[in-house]
Amino acid sequence: MRTVVLAGLCALSGVCAAPAMSAGGGAAQARGSVQAEGTAHAVGTRERAFVSNQSDETVSVLALPQLETLATLAVSGKPAGVAAAPDGRRVYVSSPEGAFVTVLGTDPPAVLGRIALEGGPLGIAVHPSGRPLYVADWYGGRIFVVDPDSGARIAELETGASPSGLALSPDGSLLASADRDSDQVSLFSTADNTLLATVPTGARPFGLGFTPDGAYLLSTDVGADAVSVIDVARRALLTTVAVGERPYAVAFAGGRAFVSNQYAGTVSVIELASWTRIADVPTGEYPEGVAAASDGASVYVANWFDNTVSRIDANTLEVVGEGTTGDGPRAFGQFIARVPAP
């Protein structure tokens, strides 16, 4: 079995190495600076998957739904978290061992620059308006609030221990953080960056996602083999749903939640209307990041040990396609970009 090397993904082992602060020059740059790196060839498509490959320090860019490789971009610092901007023009990738975020262009796929941070940047999300950018610092128990254009740090939000996944409500009013080592989710107002509530979850919450209507927030609890369902209005736990072993991330399509289970090699499917687990879809080995296509017809999952991305038909719940990535795909976050038509 392959050794998991991500600073943040001691979410499974509980053992973390210190981040390589000098990797890729991350610590040597000035705070908030942006540094250019390189470019790939232009290609055309409407949706693209930007898959962070931690082992070979690249990002694979795949055309969807065909899952053809369009480009491979070099991104150092053991890239992990991914967040596509709402306008589809940029993608942000966190590097926990480099202490920076890499800014990618989508058409053509290109490395545009770098935002220097501190600690171990892991979970990452973009406000629905396109700014600001939120980045969880796994080591520092905080969230960086960053201007994605200038790289300036606007604020820092205190979380519980080891913040992992981040999620924003559909209307952009709430920011949620999965605080893995505190067994809780923190909820913040994006209007003034204040902490509104902390909600207890199962053991080791890691991935997060708001339902499309914003009424509920789901956390994937890797230590409990379950999903916690939080009633957003009440700021309280509604129920838990048992899933496969070591759930990692969650996405939504067709009135269902799709939860990747690392050790089980499956994606569990939950009906939102009843909070019932209705299926477990076999995928590649060690599935991690999961995201839905904009039309809700397909769900894509990155398979860490197989170096592939599987395409699941959201209606039939069958794997209907597979594409090849770099070594060690993580794709933790919203890794599908809706690229504007040329």
User: Reduced to 3 states, what is the DSSP secondary structure of residue 67?
Assistant: coil
The token pair that represents 18 in the structure block: 């210190």
Question: Which residues have C-beta within 8 Å of that of residue 316, sequence separation ≥ 6?
Answer: none
- Within 10 A of 104 (CB to CB), how many other CB atoms are there? 26
pLDDT at 77: 98
- Weakest mean pLDDT among 10-24, 133-147, 241-255, 258-272: 10-24
Q: How confident is the model at residue 39 (pLDDT cuts 50, 70, 90)?
A: very low
pLDDT at 250: 98
pLDDT in tens, 261-318: 999 999 999 999 999 999 999 999 999 999 999 999 999 999 999 999 999 999 999 9
Among 333, 329, 331, residue whose Cα is nearest residue 305: 329
The amino acid sitting at 23 is A
pLDDT at 212: 98
pLDDT at 37: 33
Question: Does residue 8 sit within a domain?
Answer: no
What are the Cα distances from residue 116, in Å, to 33, 34, 135, 136, 166?
6, 7, 11, 13, 19
The token pair that represents 156 in the structure block: 């820092």
What are the Cα distances from residue 188, in Å, to 191, 213, 226, 228?
9, 18, 24, 18
Average pLDDT of 24-39? 30
Q: How confident is the model at residue 205 (pLDDT cuts 50, 70, 90)?
A: very high
Q: How confident is the model at residue 22 (pLDDT cuts 50, 70, 90)?
A: very low
Beta strands in 169-307 (DSSP E): 174-179, 184-189, 195-200, 205-210, 216-221, 226-231, 236-242, 247-253, 256-261, 266-271, 276-282, 287-292, 298-303
Number of independent structural domains in the chain: 1
Q: How confident is the model at residue 99 (pLDDT cuts 50, 70, 90)?
A: very high
Question: Does residue 13 sit within a domain?
Answer: no
The Cα–Cα gap between 238 and 194 comes to: 23
The amino acid sitting at 38 is G
The Cα–Cα gap between 83 and 298 comes to: 19
Instruction: Check whether 4 has a pLDDT greater than 50.
Output: no
The amino acid sitting at 25 is G
Among 115, 89, 91, residue whose Cα is nearest residue 24: 115
**Residue 180's CATH number:** 2.130.10.10
Question: Does residue 50 sit within a domain?
Answer: yes
User: Reduced to 3 states, what is the DSSP secondary structure of residue 106?
Assistant: strand
Instruction: Check whether 216 has a pLDDT greater than 70.
Output: yes
- Using an 8 Å Cβ cutoff, are 310 and 322 in contact? yes
Question: Does residue 10 sit within a domain?
Answer: no
pLDDT at 7: 33
Question: Does residue 6 sit within a domain?
Answer: no
Instruction: Check whether 27 has a pLDDT greater than 90.
Output: no
pLDDT at 342: 84
Pairing of strands 174-179, 184-189: antiparallel
pLDDT at 30: 27
The Cα–Cα gap between 42 and 109 comes to: 7
Prediction pTM value: 0.89
Q: Which domain holds residue 136?
A: 21-338
Q: How confident is the model at residue 256 (pLDDT cuts 50, 70, 90)?
A: very high
Question: Does residue 222 sit within a domain?
Answer: yes
Share of the chain above pLDDT 90, in %: 86
Among 312, 298, 254, residue whose Cα is nearest residue 46: 298
Mean predicted lDDT score pLDDT of the chain: 89
Question: Does residue 15 sit within a domain?
Answer: no
Question: Does residue 73 sit within a domain?
Answer: yes
pLDDT at 26: 32
pLDDT at 298: 98
Preceding amide of 108 cis, omega within 30: yes
